[in-house]
């Protein structure tokens, strides 16, 4: 089965945001499914649902091939957008692959997005296994990747990726990609030369270069001295990579939600990372936003740990599968609340307000009537405009 679908699971609506199939499940897709199903089971138990096992079996059979699922409890949106912006489509249209200007271009399930010093955007076009470049005028070209799913270093179209996800850029214009399906971190020079900085096979080993291992790395961020930080999603860890390719574990250990320092802390499934001027990391982790200091101390700054939708202070706020995260120069950060189809703003004090979005769909507009279909990645430019990766499009938000 391809495309969107829904199934009712004991009072819950389970939606398929990604392309799914009944067969061909990858190991990392199974673990993504495990994350969602654990949450679903816990929510059902809290609501004293009696038929848990049949519901789980139904959900597993329905979504066996999904790369990701989102389970949403019926109802629940309790706060309207409190801030406004003008939302437009900057590039992209329908699913596919095509270079071109604005809506003439096509993407296939892009995720990560980064911005260079001259205003060019770089997008990890996951379904096309390519890295795309978008100029400030909206012209889309292919920067690296052949489109063939695989693993190969090389220049431009000679390189291969397998579901590239997170993307970050350094001061010299080098890109760093979390190559999710290959469990590697790739580097791309401004000339389009792709090499492998760290990672090899599926695993959790620290080490240098190919001695290190990852399990489905997702978000990636870079600090002022060139160190990379990776949301190693299935390992439930935040990993640090030096410019020389030395990989260590900054925080996290086993699956869980404990605050603490280093391996005493736990993550469920970290998705994306933003970094501030003091090298503090902000991580989207299932239903919470976590902060990680340079010493590896982890605290929870927003989110109750239960899926839902509420603005509020700290643990009074609720999210539903937050994805991308970006930070501005004053320490506010912006979260793509993927499951709720909203863009949320979180102040340095942990106050969560809803910035934009309404119901699921696609519509450009101003004044809180626009819609996001499946928002994920986000980045902010020097004039505080936001660019959001949304299904097969790149959306631009100009703040009012």
Q: pLDDT tens, 116-173?
A: 999 999 999 999 999 999 999 999 999 999 999 999 999 999 999 999 999 999 999 9
Closest C-alpha to 340, from 378, 372, 385: 372
pLDDT for residue 349:
93
Question: Average pLDDT of 180-209?
Answer: 98
The packing angle between helices 27-46 and 52-62, to 10°, is 150
Predicted confidence at residue 8, as pLDDT, reads 31
Lowest mean pLDDT of 130-144, 228-242, 243-257, 353-367, name the range.
353-367
pLDDT band of 399, cuts 50, 70, 90: confident
Residue 199 has pLDDT above 80, yes or no: yes
Q: Work out the average pLDDT over 24-45.
A: 40
* H-helix segments, the chain: 27-46, 52-62
Confidence check: pLDDT of 38 > 70: no
pLDDT band at 353 (very low <50, low <70, confident <90, very high): very high
Among the listed ranges 43-52, 272-281, 342-351, which one has the minimum average pLDDT value?
43-52
Q: Which residue has the higher pLDDT, 50 or 294?
A: 294
SS3 204: coil
Give the pLDDT band (50/70/90) at residue 60.
Answer: very low
pLDDT tens, residue by residue, 101-111: 999 999 999 99
Q: What is the DSSP letter of 146?
A: -
Question: Across-strand partners of 394?
Answer: 91, 389
Instruction: Give yes or no for a contact between 363 and 371, defined as CB atoms under 8 angstroms apart.
Output: yes
Residue 320 CB coordination number (10 Å): 22
pLDDT bin (cut points 50, 70, 90) of residue 245 is very high
Report the alpha-carbon distance of residue 237 to residue 130 in Å, rounded.
26
Task: Tell me the C-alpha distance between 282 and 292, whole Å.
Answer: 6
pLDDT at 311 over 90: yes
Averaged pLDDT of the chain: 83
The confidence score (pLDDT) of residue 355 equals 83
Break the chain down into helix, strand, coil percent, rounded to 5: 15, 45, 40
Among 65-79, 210-224, 235-249, 283-297, name the one with the lowest average pLDDT: 65-79
User: Rounded to whole angstroms, how far apart are CA atoms 151 and 145?
Assistant: 10
Question: What percentage of the chain carries pLDDT values higher than 90?
Answer: 72
Report the C-alpha gap between 382 and 398 in whole angstroms. 12
Q: What's the predicted TM-score (pTM) here?
A: 0.82
**Mean pLDDT computed over 359-381:** 78
pLDDT at 371: 81
Segment of 54-63, 77-86, 203-212, 353-362 carrying the highest mean pLDDT? 203-212
């Amino acid at each position: 089965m391809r495309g969107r679908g829904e199934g009712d699971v004991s009072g819950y609506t389970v939606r398929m945001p990604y392309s799914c199939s009944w067969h061909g499940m990858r190991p990392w897709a199974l673990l993504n499914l495990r994350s969602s199903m654990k949450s679903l089971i816990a929510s059902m138990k809290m609501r004293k649902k009696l038929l848990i096992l049949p519901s789980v079996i139904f959900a597993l059979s329905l979504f066996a091939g999904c790369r990701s699922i989102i389970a949403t409890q019926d109802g629940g949106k309790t706060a309207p957008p409190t801030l406004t912006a003008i939302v437009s489509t900057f590039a992209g249209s329908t699913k596919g692959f095509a270079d071109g200007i604005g809506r003439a271009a096509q993407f296939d399930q892009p995720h990560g997005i980064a911005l260079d010093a001259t205003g060019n955007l770089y997008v990890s076009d996951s379904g096309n296994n390519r890295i795309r470049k978008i100029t400030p005028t909206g012209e889309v070209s292919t920067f690296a990747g052949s489109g063939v799913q695989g693993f190969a270093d090389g220049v431009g179209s000679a390189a291969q990726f397998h579901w590239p996800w997170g993307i970050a850029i350094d001061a010299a214009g080098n890109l760093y990609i979390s190559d999710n399906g290959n469990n590697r971190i790739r580097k791309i020079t401004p000339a389009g030369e792709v090499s492998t900085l760290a990672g090899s096979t599926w695993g959790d080993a620290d080490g240098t270069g190919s001695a290190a291992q990852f399990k489905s790395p997702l978000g990636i961020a870079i600090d002022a001295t060139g160190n990379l930080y990776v949301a190693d999603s299935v390992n439930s860890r935040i990993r640090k990579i030096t410019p020389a390719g030395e990989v260590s574990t900054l925080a996290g250990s086993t699956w869980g939600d404990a605050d603490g320092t280093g391996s005493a802390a736990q993550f469920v499934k970290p998705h994306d990372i933003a970094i501030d001027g003091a090298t503090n990391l902000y991580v989207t982790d299932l239903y919470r936003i976590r902060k990680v200091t340079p010493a590896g101390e982890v605290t929870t700054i927003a989110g109750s740990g239960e899926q839902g939708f509420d603005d509020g202070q700290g643990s009074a706020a609720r999210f539903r599968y937050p994805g991308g995260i970006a930070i501005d120069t004053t320490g506010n950060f912006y979260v793509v609340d993927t499951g709720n189809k909203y863009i949320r703003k979180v102040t340095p004090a942990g106050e969560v307000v809803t910035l934009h979005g309404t119901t699921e769909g696609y519509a450009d507009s101003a004044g809180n009537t626009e819609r996001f279909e499946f928002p994920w990645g986000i980045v902010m430019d020097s004039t505080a405009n936001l660019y959001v990766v949304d299904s097969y499009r790149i959306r631009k938000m100009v703040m009012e």
